[in-house]
Structure 1
Amino acid sequence: MRSDHDASDMPEAPSRSQRRREALALFDLGEALLTLPPSRLAGIELPEDVRTEIAHVRRITAPVARKRQLQFLAKLMRRHADAVFAPARAALGGDAVAHRREVANAHRLEALREHLLAEGDVALGELLQHHAQADRQNLRALIRQARGERAGNRPPHAYRELLRQLRALESSSSRSADSMPDDATN
């Protein structure tokens, strides 16, 4: 028999799939918290029982036992409200954004290095327009040596040094831009 209550009046419980996704998300969060250095973990607000269990899991080295304890950690985390772990998610999310930014910058510098090797003096002139403090003679020598290493199938010492120089150039220009007063940059 049907009751007088409408089905839409009853709050719908999460589906089994949804509960499983949430449990796996907490498992992944626990795994990510284990990878953080203790100094970073100390700055994140966590319940005390979760913090002690993280310390316990870190001491375990056997892979199967570690996974079992990690599952227990996830079970402990499920006992707490989801909002309790918002600071931990925010801290880990910020790391992901910074990591993506660093990777994108590394790819950009590698592409610049390849452009310098392919185009030579034309690309070097473009680079020097943006970075006037760069040592033209040293960069030109590194480009020439890297081309020779590639042609002679030798170890890429100059190729790597060219990337180091580009990184140093990039960091020095970003530091000088950060040290400029606001009215000078406008």
Structure 2
Amino acid sequence: MRGRDEETGEYFSPSRAQQRREAMAVFELGEKLVALSEAELLRLPIPEHLLAEIRHTRRITSHIARKRELQHLAKIMRREDEETLDAIRKALEHDKAQMRRETAALHRVEAWRDRLVADGDQALAELLAQHPQADRQHLRQLARNAREERLRNKPPHAFRELFRELRELLEEQETGSR
């Protein structure tokens, strides 16, 4: 039973609903951890005994048994101090933000590549205005070859090479601006 402090009127402990919400949050964190790859797991600040439990839970494929094992993992995780769980959550959020930045960078590269293939010299002039160190002749040749490949339904060798060149160019600018 919860009880109340007679002087302040505050409850002594969290309500059952609040305890349930906290338990579900830990359960969902456990589900996310089980879904990660081994390399992603090793980057997170997870204690060794929890890593062993996560690996064990991953091996179970039966739906009901897996859910039961996830509940067991959540029970073990609830025994951990809150700082450990917060550190894991923060690391997961950081990884998610990093993935969003990388995806946005790839979309920028793809947009430039598509513009170079479609618009030709006009798009190249805009790109060179922003990146004067770029090799004009090489980029123009790759864009022309990519356009030819597309028209002739050939394999996209120049198209991919143009992507690689643009990615390197834009990454140089990002690392140079930091």
Superposition pairs for residues 23-172 of structure 1, below 5 Å? Answer: 23-34=23-34, 35=36, 37=38, 41=42, 44=45, 46=47, 49-58=49-58, 60=59, 62-64=61-63, 65-172=65-172
**Alignment check: 8 A CA contact 1:23 1:78 kept:** yes
RMSD: 2.9
The match for 1:183 is none
Structure 2 unmatched runs, 5+? none
Question: In structure 2, how many angstroms separate the alpha carbons of the residues matched to 1:94 and 1:136?
Answer: 37
Distance 2:177 2:79 in 1: 48
Structure 2 counterpart of 1:153, one-letter code? N
- Describe the shift of the 1:128–1:39 C-alpha distance in structure 2 as closer, same or farther (beyond 3 A): closer
Compared with structure 1, are the counterparts of its residues 107 and 42 closer, same or farther at alpha carbon in structure 2 (3 Å cutoff)?
closer
| Compared CA separation, residues 36 and 24, structure 1 to 2 (3 A) | farther
Distance 1:39 1:152, change over 3 A: closer
Q: TM-score, normalised by structure 2?
A: 0.76
Distance 1:90 1:122, change over 3 A: same
8 Å Cα contact 2:44-2:92 kept in structure 1: no
Q: Shift in Å at residue 67 of structure 1? A: 4.3
Cα separation, partners in 2 of 1:135 and 1:55, compared to 1, 3 Å: same
Q: Secondary structure at the match of 1:129?
A: helix
Structure 1: stretches of 5+ with no match in the other structure: 179-186
TM superposition score normalised by structure 1: 0.74
Give, in whole Å, the separation in 2 of the partners of 1:149 and 1:21: 56
Matched length = 170
